[in-house]
Amino acid sequence: TRTHTFAAVDLGASSGRVMVAMVGPGSLRLREVHRFPNRPVRVGGTLHWDILALYGGVLDGLRAAGAAAGGRLAGVGIDSWAVDYALLDADGALLGNPVHYRDTRTDGAPEKIAAAVPPEELYAATGLQHLPFNTVFQLVAARGTPQLAAAKRLLLIPDLISYWLTGEAGTEITNASTTQLVDPRTRAWSPVVAARLGIDLGLFPPLRSPGDPAGFLRPGVLAETGLTAGGPVPVTAVGSHDTASAVVGVPADGDDFAYIATGTWSLAGLELDRPVLTEASRAANFTNELGVDGTVRYLRNIMGLWLLQECLRTWEAQGDPQDLDALLEAAARATPLRSVVDAGDPAFLAPDDMPRRIAQACVRTGQPEPRTPAAVTRCVLDSLALAHRRAVEEAQTLSGRTARTVHIVGGGAHNTLLCRLTADATGLPVVAGPAEAAALGNVLVQARAAGVVGGRLADLRALLRATQPLRYYDPAGDRTAWDEAADRIGAGTVTGTGR
Ligand code: ADP
Ligand code: LRH
CA of 243 to the centre of ligand 2 (A): 7
CA of 433 to the centre of ligand 1 (A): 12
Q: Which positions are catalytic?
A: 242
Confidence of residue 460 (pLDDT cuts 50, 70, 90): very high
The protein residue whose alpha carbon is closest to atom 7 in ligand 2 is: 81
Mean pLDDT, rounded, for 78-94: 98
Q: Is 419 in the pocket of ligand 2 (CB under 6 A)?
A: no
Q: Is 315 in the pocket of ligand 2 (CB under 6 A)?
A: no
CA dihedral angle for residue 235, residue 209, residue 126, residue 389, rounded to 10 degrees: -80
- Give yes or no for residue 299 having a pLDDT over 80: yes
Q: Which ligand is nearest to the CA of 82?
A: 2
Q: Ligand 1: residues within 6 Å at CB?
A: 12-15, 263-264, 305, 308-309, 324, 410-412, 414-415
pLDDT digits (tens, 9 = 90+) for 234-281: 999 999 999 999 999 999 999 999 999 999 999 999 999 999 999 999
Cα 419 to its chain centre, rounded Å, is 18
Helices 479-488, 416-426: inter-axial angle, 10-degree rounding: 90
Q: Is 159 in the pocket of ligand 2 (CB under 6 A)?
A: no
The protein residue whose alpha carbon is closest to atom 11 in ligand 2 is: 81
pLDDT at 491: 66
- Give yes or no for residue 496 having a pLDDT over 90: no
Mutating to test ligand 2, I would choose from 14, 241, 266, 494 the residue with most ligand atoms within 8 A of its C-beta, which is: 241
Phi/psi class of residue 288: alpha, beta or left (left: φ > 0; alpha: ψ in -120 to 50)?
beta
405 burial (CB, 10 Å; 0-12 / 13-18 / 19+) is middle
HEC profile for 99-154?
Answer: ECCCCHHHCCHHHHHHHHCCHHHHHHHHCCCCCCCCHHHHHHHHCCCHHHHHCCEE
pLDDT digits (tens, 9 = 90+) for 340-358: 999 999 999 999 999 999 9
Cα 40 to its chain centre, rounded Å, is 17
CA of 176 to the centre of ligand 2 (A): 12
pLDDT at 130: 95
CA of 193 to the centre of ligand 1 (A): 36
Confidence of residue 1 (pLDDT cuts 50, 70, 90): low
Q: Which ligand is nearest to the CA of 241?
A: 2
The answer to whether 79 touches 438, Cβ cutoff 8 Å, is yes
- Give yes or no for residue 187 having a pLDDT over 90: yes
69-85 in b/e burial notation, b at 16+ Cβ within 10 A?
beeebbbbbbbbbbbbb
CA of 62 to the centre of ligand 2 (A): 24
ipTM for this prediction: 0.99
Q: Is 418 in the pocket of ligand 2 (CB under 6 A)?
A: no
pLDDT at 490: 78
Q: Which ligand is nearest to the CA of 129?
A: 2
CA of 354 to the centre of ligand 2 (A): 20
Mean pLDDT, rounded, for 401-411: 98
Atom in ligand 2 nearest the alpha carbon of residue 81:
8
pLDDT digits (tens, 9 = 90+) for 190-240: 999 999 999 999 999 999 999 999 999 999 999 999 999 999 999 999 999
The protein residue whose alpha carbon is closest to atom 4 in ligand 2 is: 82
Q: Is 13 in the pocket of ligand 2 (CB under 6 A)?
A: yes
Residue 234 and residue 474: Cα distance in Å, rounded?
A: 43
Atom in ligand 2 nearest the alpha carbon of residue 12:
7
Mean pLDDT, rounded, for 117-130: 97
